[in-house]
Amino acid sequence: MDRRDTIKSLLLGSLAGGALLTGCTPEENLSPEAGAEASDTGGYGRTPEEKKRDEELASETFFTEAEIATLAVLCDLILPADDSFGSATDAGVPEFIEFIAKDIPEHQVPLRGGMMWLNHRANRMFGAEFTDCTGEQQKKLLDAIALPNEAAPELQPGVVFFSLLRSLTLSGYYTTKMGIESLAYKGNVSNIWDGVPEEVLAEHGLSYDEEWLAKCANPARSEVAEWDEEGNLIS
Amino acid sequence: MQIKNSPKVYDAVIVGSGAGGGMAAKILSEAGLEVAVLEAGPYFDPADPAQRTQLRWPWESPRRGAGSTRAFGDFDAAYGGWEIEGEPYTRAPGTQFEWFRSRMLGGRTNHWGRISLRFGPKDFKRKSIDGLGDDWPIGYEDVKPYYDKVDQLVGIFGSKEGLPNEPDGFFLPPPKPRLHELYYIKAARKAHVTVIPSRLSILTKRINNSRGVCFYCRQCNRGCTVHADFSAGACLIFPAQKSGGKIDLFVNAMVREVVANEEGKAVGVSYISKDDRKEYQLNGKVIVLAASACGSARILLNSKSRQHPNGLGNSSGLVGKYLHDSTGASGKAFVPALMNRKTYNEDGVGGFHVYSPWWLDNKKLDFARGYHIEIGGGLGMPAYGFGFDITELNRFFGDIGGSYGPGLRDEVRRYYGAVVSLSGRGESIAREENYCEIDPDTVDEFGIPVLRFNYTWSDQERRQAKHMQETFNEIFHQMDGQRIGPTPGKGEDYGLLAPGMIIHEVGTTRMGKDPKRSVVNEYEQLHDAKNVFVVDGGPFVSQADKNPTWTILALAWRTSDYIIDQLKKQNLG
């Protein structure tokens, strides 16, 4: 699926979901869309203390310019652009890593020290820091630490660093709009769940059994429920 | 500092606004009583746009939803967590306990998984079955009418199954299983593990004209803007206020103790306002504690007077004792059949659509009491932590390479939705030697002496966790799944989490007929003080392999009916 198709299907998904929701929620003041519009003022439901903490973290600086530059090179080597979607730096991953290192200070020494470890090794092998190495040299350095199963034991610090950086890069990338489109995640919109699509069931050789489906039958979900004395749903 | 004492005398002063306090506020106020509700945190309504986290995208949080500010992540509704600045607790050496608190209107009902399981007939009579712990002084038949009423008032989906210890109720239709849940059903059946539709308090169908219907965003833990799931504010307190109930709400009010008069009779509570840090007193004919099992025990233990030198209601010495949380252990597996999935909106409701209630007979096992299994997986919305397991997952492919660079996107897509996690939540044995008490050396920032926990697991719980892991592995095997990471063994207590981590702690003011061996009677009324009641998890004699909320709600309703009756008969004066 190319990018245009993905975006199109996302849009269709949200439009369809919106229409369904309107049909099922008569009270306008309880529509999530109404809430969304009213609150899109830059916040995301913070308490005053949380807002203050976010602002303090945002005003601090942890990584040096040289470190950010190194992170940028590394992040894009980990997750480069492809034909449809931008790279890690296009999605702002280094900025995210800067924030998360301040937010979760346990990341600080492993990231800073990891970059130092890598520069030391780059210097020993190629007489230059990592960012000044050629593409081929950089690849050689990373190949040696990228696969934990195959890495030499003395390179373990590099393996641990690279694994952390890859994790943060993936988290940072796939939690952006670009990343979510690239993953083709289709949710976070109002909709009605009606089971796994037929073609997916067929692909997996699965089906819903009749007895189970009968329990899930819900033809009048916007009508107020009533039960008989035994607790059987009668409307 | 002079304590500010309002002359007003409420019919009832309720401490806490979660499941128990919310229910008491609703039933008592709708009976015409004037009630005050004290809540230690701020006002909260999930429908308030300023507090909304529902339908947010991960990039709206600079930490992408990481748990560094809120324990369950930035988008979780619950304020607070296991650690709260200025509100410490301590542990006796060599023991463990983690105490989760939500400081906000509705308390922990804003966070929980909406898993709403009735206790069954056996769950009230465990001692008669296996000789351990104690029986409740009441049975399922006493609580059943209230479970029935809670089902219809709050709303719950599920299915009639006729299982002996998993009583059916008044259910709304459950949602159809997701893809990984279909795999689970197949595998569980092969492993001879019962599997049925889950039972969650989420409105898949309208139950009245004031609350909305679920629109399937899988985010109940964020608080629902259309009130389509249960939280105590949305479902109990706000409706009671709307229908004219006289409820005075005191938020940011941290209760210190129950105040007694010269004769030792409880006349009110004292609290510290977090807004001006001054101490106030509210007076009531009846005091209803619903501050959570440990919160209420702390208040009682701190309520010392000449007549109650060991704390109010503590002539038995049992306040704080018999503390017990559910057991919890988990495992996850990579399921190759779920690789490279076609994506579609698979959010569904905020939780699993199917689950496994306890299915075995403990007589044939080396541990007492059961557990249920919760199922995780699917095409979820990415948040902080997404992609962290790729190194582990790549191990299953050994030499394929491409762990960075152009191939990495394909790896991410390959694994997306291909991991299934299973969690066991089981019943531990309530034991007198597991308890909380007042730490004589430590106060919180409000000057209130804090709790010190003394809690250790026994081999009963460890062997149960071992059984969970064996069951998970069997089910993973039946799915042709590959467990991620090693199965925790004896040295790791089989992955058994620290007590408190499952947030089902109960038992600290346990119920019983004998005032020497229990704190409250069968109506959750203190043996030592007729006008003081406890309606949280404290009165539980034993926690079942079920989540406690539905039973807290049912018992709080039953107790509220009793309070109304006793006030009419003038028996509480």
Instruction: Calculate mean pLDDT across residues A129-141.
Output: 97
| Secondary structure E strands in B466-556 | 482-483, 525-526, 529-534
Nearest CA in chain A to B203: A221
Nearest 5°: the CA angle B43, B172, B109 is 20
On whether both A205 and A142 belong to a single domain, the answer is: no
For residue B211, count other CB atoms closer than 10 A to its CB: 22
Contact indicator for B196, B187 with CB cutoff of 8 Å: no
pLDDT score of B402: 62
- Residues from chain B contacting residue A57 (CB–CB below 8 Å): 62
Q: What percent of chain A has pLDDT over 70?
A: 82
**Residue recorded with tokens 């209130």:** B448
Look at residues B290, B237, B300 and name the one whose alpha carbon lies nearest to residue B449.
B300
Q: What is the pLDDT of residue B213?
A: 97
Q: How far is it, in rounded angstroms, from Cα B121 to Cα B141? A: 8
Cβ–Cβ under 8 Å, residues B229 and B145: no
Structure-model confidence comparison of residues A4 and B317, the more confident one: B317
Q: Give the containing element (helix H, strand E) for A165.
A: helix A156-174
Distance of CA B4 to the CA centre of its chain: 34
Mean pLDDT of A25-29: 37
Domain co-membership, A199 together with A96: no
On chain B, the residues whose CB falls within 8 A of the CB of A201 are 179, 182
CA distance A90 to A200: 33
Are A169 and A235 in a shared domain?
Answer: no
Q: What is the pLDDT of residues B34-69, one digit of tens each?
A: 999 999 999 999 999 999 999 999 999 999 999 999
Q: A190 CA to chain B: closest CA distance, Å?
A: 5
Helices (runs of H) and strands (runs of E) counted in chain A: 11, 0
Reported as a pLDDT band with limits 50, 70 and 90, residue B399 is low
Q: What is the mean pLDDT of chain B?
A: 96
Q: Is the pLDDT of residue B392 over 90?
A: no
Co-location of A47 and A120 in the same domain: yes
Q: Which residues of A touch B349 (CB under 8 A)?
A: 193
Cα B466 to the center of its chain, rounded Å? 24
Q: What angle do CA B273, B279, B280 make, to 5 degrees?
A: 90
Q: B238 falls in which pLDDT band (50, 70, 90)?
A: very high
* Chain B touched by A23 (CB under 8 Å): no
Q: Which residue of B has its CA nearest to A41?
A: B50
User: Within this chain, do residues A129 and A199 fall inside the same structural domain, yes or no?
Assistant: no
Chain-chain contact of A103 with B58 (C-beta, under 8 angstroms)? no
Question: pLDDT digit string (tens) for B463-518?
Answer: 999 999 999 999 999 999 999 999 999 999 999 999 999 999 999 999 999 999 99
* Residues in chain A, total: 235
In the prediction, which pLDDT does A28 show?
Answer: 36
Q: How confident is the model at residue B400 (pLDDT cuts 50, 70, 90)?
A: low
Task: Give mean pLDDT, residues B245-249.
Answer: 96
pLDDT at residue A156, as a whole number: 94
Residue B485: the pLDDT is 93
Residue of B nearest to A85 (CA): B409
Residues A166 and A195 occupy one common structural domain:
no
Closest chain B CA to residue A182: B409
- The verdict on a CB contact (< 8 Å) between A189 and B63 is no
Which residues, 6 or more positions from B365, have their beta carbon under 8 angstroms from its beta carbon? B467
ipTM associated with this complex:
0.94
* Whole-number Cα distances in Å, A48 to A25, A44, B48, B69: 32, 12, 15, 12
Query: Does position A32 have pLDDT exceeding 70, yes or no?
Result: no
- Res A39: pLDDT: 43
Please tell me if residue A214 touches chain B, with a CB cutoff of 8 Å.
no
- DSSP 3-state assignment of B331? strand
Q: Is the pLDDT of residue A24 over 60?
A: no
Residues A167 and A203 in one domain: no
State the smallest CA–CA distance between residue B395 and chain A in angstroms. Answer: 7
pLDDT at A25 over 60: no
For position B391, what pLDDT does the model report?
85
**Quick check: A18 pLDDT over 90?**
no
Q: Which of B279, B250, B273, B288 is nearest to B37 (CA)?
A: B250
What distances in angstroms separate CA B250 from CA A56, B104, B240, B532, one per listed residue?
31, 11, 16, 19
> Is the model's pTM score more than 0.90?
yes
DSSP string of A91-129?
A: TTHHHHHHHHHHHSGGGHHHHHHHHHHHHHHHHHHHSS-
CB within 8 Å: A21 and B215: yes
Q: What is the DSSP-derived secondary structure letter of residue B382? A: P
- Residue among B347, B358, B389 nearest B179 (CA): B347
A153: containing domain: 3-183
User: Distance of CA B422 to CAs B352, B388, B459, Å?
Assistant: 11, 18, 22
* N residues, chain B: 573
Q: Is B213 in Cβ contact with A175 (below 8 Å)?
A: no
User: For residue B141, how many other CB atoms are within 10 A of its CB?
Assistant: 9
Chain A residues near residue B342 by CB distance under 8 angstroms? 199-200, 203
Which residue of A lies nearest to B401 if distances are taken between CA atoms? A147
Q: Indicate the residue of B63, B216, B405 with minimum beta-carbon distance to A192.
A: B216
Shortest distance, CA A128 to any CA of chain B (angstroms): 22
What are the Cα distances from residue B380, in Å, to A109, B224, B383, B392, B563?
Answer: 31, 18, 9, 19, 46
Task: Let me know whether A63 and A166 are in one domain.
Answer: yes
Q: What is the pLDDT of residue A34?
A: 40
Region for B430 from its dihedrals, namely left if φ exceeds 0, alpha if ψ lies in -120 to 50, beta otherwise: beta
| A123 and A19 fall within a common domain | yes
Q: Which two tokens stand for residue B334?
A: 């990579």
Per-residue pLDDT at B210: 93
* Whole-number Å distance between alpha carbons of A121 and B440: 55
Q: Do A133 and A218 share a domain, yes or no?
A: no
Tell me: do A162 and A219 sit in the same domain.
Answer: no
What percent of chain B is predicted at pLDDT more than 90? 96
Residue A19 in this model has a pLDDT that exceeds 80: no
Would an 8 Å CB–CB cutoff place A30 in contact with chain B?
Answer: yes
Instruction: Quote the CA–CA distance of B124 and A1 in Å, as a whole number.
Output: 56
Q: How far apart are CA B137 and CA B159, in angstroms?
A: 29
Q: How many CB pairs under 8 A join A and B?
A: 287
User: Amino acid identity of A145?
Assistant: I
Number of domains in chain A: 2
User: What are the tens digits of pLDDT across the range A182-226?
Assistant: 999 999 999 999 999 999 999 999 999 999 999 999 989 999 999
Please tell me whether residues A209 and A155 are part of one structural domain.
no
How many Å is the Cα radius of gyration of chain B? 24
Domain end position, chosen among A147, A165, A183: A183
In the block, tokens 């080597």 appear at A77
What tokens does A6 get?
């993905």
Would you place residue B2 in the very low, low, confident or very high pLDDT band (cuts 50, 70, 90)? low
